[in-house]
C-alpha cells in the first residue's frame, strides 16, 4: 500500500469530467498557446511557411466543406465496404496484422509529388457556452527531394448540436471563425529534428530502435508518448513507404499501453480498426482501413461517448503525377 493511501481512499473523489468541460479547458489552453506562437516561429518549418505564403497570396484552391455530410470523401466507400469484415476476423489484433500485411504489400508508387490530403476537424469551446466545430482541408505536398508545401483550405465553422445552436443564439449569434475571410487555424508542425524520412526503417523493431534513439532527453515525454508522436509524424507528414507505415502500425500495436480496437469510426463516418493510446478519459486514435491497411484518420477522442476533439481524416495519400498549385506573389 502506498503512503497516505487512507487519504486517497477516504476523501471524496471528483466526478468524471465531461466532454464540454474538457473541450472548454482544452480550447482555453490551446488558444493560450497559439496566441504566443510568435515565440516559436523560428522553429516553423518550410511546410508552415508555405501555408503562410499560399494564404497571403489568396491562393486557396480547396472548396469550402461546410455542411458536407460524412461519406463524401473518396475512400469512404472502400472503408465502409470492408468494415463489416472486421467483426468476422478472430481478433482486432489479427485484423491489424492482416491490414499491416496488406499495406506493406502495396507498391511504393510513382510520380514526382507526394500528396496527403486530409480534412482537419477541431472542436473548440473558447466561448464557454457553446461548442464550435471548425473544418478545413489541408493538402501536404512533398517532392522527391523532400521539399514541402502545404495548402490550407478555407475554414468552415459549424455548431454541432441543437443545444450549441441555442446557446450561440443566446450569446447574440456571434460570428464564427469560418465567417471571417481571414480565419486561419494555426498548425505548427512537429518534426523530429535529427530524423530524415529517408532514413526510416521498414521493420517495426528497427523503426522503434531508431525513434527511441532520437527521443528528447528533457523528460517531457515517456517512450510510448514519444513513439506515438513520431508515428503520427511518419504517417501524416512524411512520404514514408507502405512498408515503413506498416512497421509503424506494428510498432505501436506492440506497446503495452496501446489497445487494438476492433471498430472505430472517423469524422467522415468511415469505420475501421483502430490503435488507441492515452489516458482513461482522453484517447489518441489511429483508424485504419482493415481492407487496404491505409490510414483513415488520426484523432483525439473522449473515451466516454466518443466525441472527437480534433482529427485528421485522410482523403488521399500517395505519390501522384499531379502537381501542387503554384504560389503567386
Partner 1 sequence: MTASLDGAVADPERFATVFDAHYEEIRRYLGRRLDLDVAEDLAAETFLVAFRRRHSFDADRGGVRPWLYGIATKLAGRHRRAEVRRYRALARSGPPQDDDGHDQRIVERVSAGVTVQKLSAALAGLSRGERDVVLLVAYGELTYDEVAAALGVANGTVASRLSRARTKLRDSLGVEV
Question: What angle separates helix 242-253 from helix 204-213, to the nearest 10 degrees?
Answer: 80
Q: Contact at 8 Å (CB) between 255 and 236?
A: no
**62, 126, 167, 188: which one binds partner 1 (CB under 8 A):** 188
Q: How far, in Å, CA of 275 to CA of 186, rounded? A: 26
Report, in Å, the least distance between residue 27 CB and partner 1.
9
- Which CB sits closer to partner 1, 162 or 199? 199
193 binds partner 1 (CB under 8 A): yes
Q: Any idea which residue has 473541450 for its cell?
A: 23
Nearest to 116 by CA among 98, 88, 144, 142: 142
Task: Supply the angle between the helices 92-104 and 242-253 in degrees, to the nearest 10.
Answer: 160
Residue 272 backbone phi and psi in degrees, to 5:
-165, -175
- Least Å distance, CB 276 to partner 1, is 12
Is residue 329 involved in binding partner 1 (CB under 8 A)?
A: no
Tell me the per-residue interface mask from 206 to 225 with partner 1, x by CB under 8 A, - otherwise. Answer: ----------xxxxxx---x
| HSE-up of residue 34 (Cα within 13 Å, Cβ side) | 13
Per-residue interface string for the shown chain with partner 1, residues 17-56, x marking contact by CB under 8 A = x---xx-xxx-xxx-xxx-xx--x--x-------------
Minimum CB separation from partner 1 for residue 250, in Å? 22
Output the smallest distance, CB 275 to partner 1, in A.
Answer: 15
d(CA 159, CA 134): 9
Q: Phi and psi at residue 309, in whole multiples of 5°?
A: -85, -45
Nearest to 59 by CA among 68, 50, 46: 50
Q: How far is the CB of 79 from partner 1 (least distance, A)?
A: 25
Stretch that binds partner 1, among 106-114, 170-178, 186-194, 201-209 (CB under 8 A): 186-194
Tell me whether residue 15 or residue 67 sits nearer to partner 1 (CB atom): 15
Residues of this chain that interact with partner 1 (CB under 8 A) are 2-15, 17, 21-22, 24-26, 28-30, 32-34, 36-37, 40, 43, 186-190, 192-193, 216-221, 225, 229, 278-282, 284, 300, 310
Amino acid at each position: 500500500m502506498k503512503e497516505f493511501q487512507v487519504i486517497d481512499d477516504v476523501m471524496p473523489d471528483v466526478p468524471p469530467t465531461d466532454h464540454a468541460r474538457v473541450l472548454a479547458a482544452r480550447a482555453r489552453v490551446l488558444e493560450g498557446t497559439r496566441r504566443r506562437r510568435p515565440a516559436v516561429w523560428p522553429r516553423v518549418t518550410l511546410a508552415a511557411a508555405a501555408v503562410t505564403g499560399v494564404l497571403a497570396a489568396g491562393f486557396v484552391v480547396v472548396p469550402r466543406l461546410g455542411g458536407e455530410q460524412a461519406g463524401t470523401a473518396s475512400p469512404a466507400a472502400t472503408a465502409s465496404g470492408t468494415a463489416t469484415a472486421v467483426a468476422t476476423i478472430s481478433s482486432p489484433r489479427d485484423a491489424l496484422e492482416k491490414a499491416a500485411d496488406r499495406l506493406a504489400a502495396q507498391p511504393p508508387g510513382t510520380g514526382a509529388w507526394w500528396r496527403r490530403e486530409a480534412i482537419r476537424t477541431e472542436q473548440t469551446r473558447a466561448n464557454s457556452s457553446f461548442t464550435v466545430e471548425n473544418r478545413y482541408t489541408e493538402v501536404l505536398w512533398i517532392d522527391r527531394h523532400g521539399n514541402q508545401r502545404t495548402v490550407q483550405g478555407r475554414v468552415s465553422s459549424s455548431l454541432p448540436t441543437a443545444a450549441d445552436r441555442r446557446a450561440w443564439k443566446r450569446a447574440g449569434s456571434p460570428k464564427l471563425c469560418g465567417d471571417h475571410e481571414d480565419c486561419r487555424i494555426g498548425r505548427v508542425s512537429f518534426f523530429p529534428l535529427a530524423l530524415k524520412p529517408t532514413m526510416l526503417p521498414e521493420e517495426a523493431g528497427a523503426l522503434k530502435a531508431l525513434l527511441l534513439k532520437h527521443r528528447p532527453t528533457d523528460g517531457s515525454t515517456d517512450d510510448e508518448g514519444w513513439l506515438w508522436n513520431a508515428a503520427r509524424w511518419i504517417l501524416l507528414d512524411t512520404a514514408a513507404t507502405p512498408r515503413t507505415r506498416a512497421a509503424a502500425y506494428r510498432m505501436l500495436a506492440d506497446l503495452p499501453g496501446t489497445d487494438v480496437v476492433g471498430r472505430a469510426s472517423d469524422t467522415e463516418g468511415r469505420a475501421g480498426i483502430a490503435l488507441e493510446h492515452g489516458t482513461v478519459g482522453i484517447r489518441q486514435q489511429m483508424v485504419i482501413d482493415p481492407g487496404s491497411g491505409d490510414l483513415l484518420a488520426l484523432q483525439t477522442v473522449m473515451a466516454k461517448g466518443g466525441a472527437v476533439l480534433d482529427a485528421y481524416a485522410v482523403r488521399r495519400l500517395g505519390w501522384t503525377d499531379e502537381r501542387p498549385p503554384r504560389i503567386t506573389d
